[in-house]
Structure 1
Amino acid sequence: MAPTLYMIAPSPPVRSVLITAKALGIQLQEKAVDFQKGEHLQPEYLKINPQHTVPTLVDDDGFIVWDSHAINPYLVSKYGKNDSLYPKDLKKRAIVDQRLHFDSGVAFARGITIIGQILREGKTSLTDKDKESLTQVYEFLEAFLDGKQWMAGDSVTIADYNLYATISGSNVLVPVDSQKFPKVAAWLKKVDALPEAEVSKKGLEVFTTMVKSKLQ
């Protein structure tokens, strides 16, 4: 029996889990949660995840965990053939964890605030403050990549998957300037070319169409 992933395809955190599962060769049973119909607030879903967020993973043994920054390390730790995506070496893992926390606390947090204003509050254009906020994220990432091939070192990790899912969405709002941020632009292309990243592209297309339809 395959693990079940409760999801919304355009969601960056969901897309990061899809990429991770693909890289690990895990076949997930995908269950879409319709937020517009309030399915995330139904008692049966709240019993699984009282925070009523996506993604939520229900493993084949009944174990439940939500938040992509918890799901992806769990998947690699349980199903990975090796620890390359989430190293056991404490120092290497600490760098991956830092990037994951940066994603959840800064990169994704800033992007979702703007996206929420667009989708729920009718915002039709980005302010200078919005652009500055996301540009600063790119500045941080450019620094993270200094002397590194990938976000946490010289090999791809789940830090790349999580940040790619977030930044590919932010890129729709404020395109990454390849002149100012050549390392980030090159990194985006590298992750985009990975075979496992293919599973996120349909969701990104939906996200792009949805957001651009709201912006003038």
Structure 2
Amino acid sequence: MPWNLFAFNQLVSSTSDRKMATHPIDIYYFPPSAPSRATLLLIKALGIDHNVKITNISQGDQMKPEFLQMNPLHTIPLINDNGFIIYESNAIMKYLVDQYGKDDSLSPKDPKKAAIVDMRLYFCACHLFPKFRQYYIPTMFQSKPPSSEALRELEEVLTIADGYLKDQPWFAGHQMTVADFAIVSFVATIDAAGGVDLAAYPEILQWYQRARSSMAGFGYDEVIRHGAAIFAEAYKNKLNSI
């Protein structure tokens, strides 16, 4: 069975006939934010009724008192599940699967499988995201030209990610997990914004195509691609003005 069809069937299996929320979940969200997009896509994949609360961080919405009362770290995304508030995208995604998924295929309960998923999520949060931010954000918000050193460090992280995909179709093994949702949002943004030659990472490119195909039915273009395009347009405009 082709990997993309395999993944689609696995994801449908994990989200159909699921425990359903009896109320909509609020997600505080900003389209250019890669972690926000990963979380919203998973919500859609799980079929959870939800309200999108746009939180424009470029206008300081995350610093408003009502938001700080929910999240003193003033980060997005954030969800409010009938009064239960969670921030940090990886924690949100694991909670959503545990709470509303039919099974644990996207967030395994087996300790060894769960440890691999956790390693990939920590890799995304502690390595990929910081190196992504180090390369793109100074241009976006400080009008600085891209740093060759920051590019080198981002490329090093991508080389490691490429190695994770040797001999397996997904970042945590042979089935799609929340780790793939987390990472695809960053790869899509890099693809749209440029500056990195993704052709240098053949395993990532194959996985990227696999992920896009498998996630298409859950709003990939609407959420991931659209938000990446917004980020890329802002980044390129700043880059061209330097």
| Deviations 1:75-122 (CA, angstroms, capped at 9, x unpaired) | 000010111111111111100000000000000111122232112211
1:101-140 to 2 correspondences below 5 Å = 101-123=122-144, 125-140=145-160
In 2, the alpha carbon distance for the partners of 1:165 and 1:90 equals 26
1:19 corresponds to which residue? Answer: 41
2:208 corresponds to which residue? Answer: 188
Once the two structures are overlaid, the 10-residue window that deviates more, 39-48 or 110-119, is 110-119
Q: Name the SS of the counterpart of 2:96 in structure 1.
A: helix
In 1, the alpha carbon distance for the partners of 2:197 and 2:135 equals 16
1:36 aligns with 2:63: no
1:7-156 to 2 correspondences below 5 Å = 7-60=29-82, 62-123=83-144, 125-156=145-176
Amino acid at match of 1:33: T
1:167 corresponds to which residue? Answer: 187
Amino acid at match of 1:185: L
Say if 1:181 and 1:36 are closer, same or farther in 2 by CA, change over 3 A: closer
Following TM superposition, where does structure 1 have runs of at least 4 consecutive aligned residues deviating by more than 4 angstroms? none
Determine which structure has the larger helix proportion and give its number.
Answer: 2
Q: How many residues align?
A: 213
Gaps of 5+ in 1: none
TM-score, length-scaled by structure 2: 0.84
Say if 1:175 and 1:189 are closer, same or farther in 2 by CA, change over 3 A: farther
1:208 aligns with 2:232: yes
| Deviations 1:133-154 (CA, angstroms, capped at 9, x unpaired) | 1111211011101111111111
In 1, the alpha carbon distance for the partners of 2:231 and 2:49 equals 23
Say if 1:200 and 1:177 are closer, same or farther in 2 by CA, change over 3 A: closer
2:14 corresponds to which residue? Answer: none
Say if 1:188 and 1:159 are closer, same or farther in 2 by CA, change over 3 A: same
The answer on whether the counterparts of 2:131 and 2:154 sit within 8 Å (CA) in structure 1 is yes
| Deviations 1:17-65 (CA, angstroms, capped at 9, x unpaired) | 01111111112210011223322111111001101111011112x0001
The answer on whether the counterparts of 1:134 and 1:170 sit within 8 Å (CA) in structure 2 is no
Say if 1:175 and 1:66 are closer, same or farther in 2 by CA, change over 3 A: same
The answer on whether the counterparts of 2:135 and 2:147 sit within 8 Å (CA) in structure 1 is no
Amino acid at match of 2:238: K
The answer on whether the counterparts of 2:189 and 2:229 sit within 8 Å (CA) in structure 1 is no
Once the two structures are overlaid, the 10-residue window that deviates more, 182-191 or 110-119, is 110-119
Alpha-carbon offset, residue 210 of structure 1 = 1.1
Q: Name the SS of the counterpart of 2:57 in structure 1.
A: coil
> Between the two proteins, what is the percent identity of the paired residues?
32
Gaps of 5+ in 2: 1-22
Q: Name the SS of the counterpart of 1:65 in structure 2.
A: strand
Q: Name the SS of the counterpart of 1:22 in structure 2.
A: helix
Which of 176, 194, 198 lines up with 1:177 in the alignment? 198
Q: Name the SS of the counterpart of 2:58 in structure 1.
A: coil
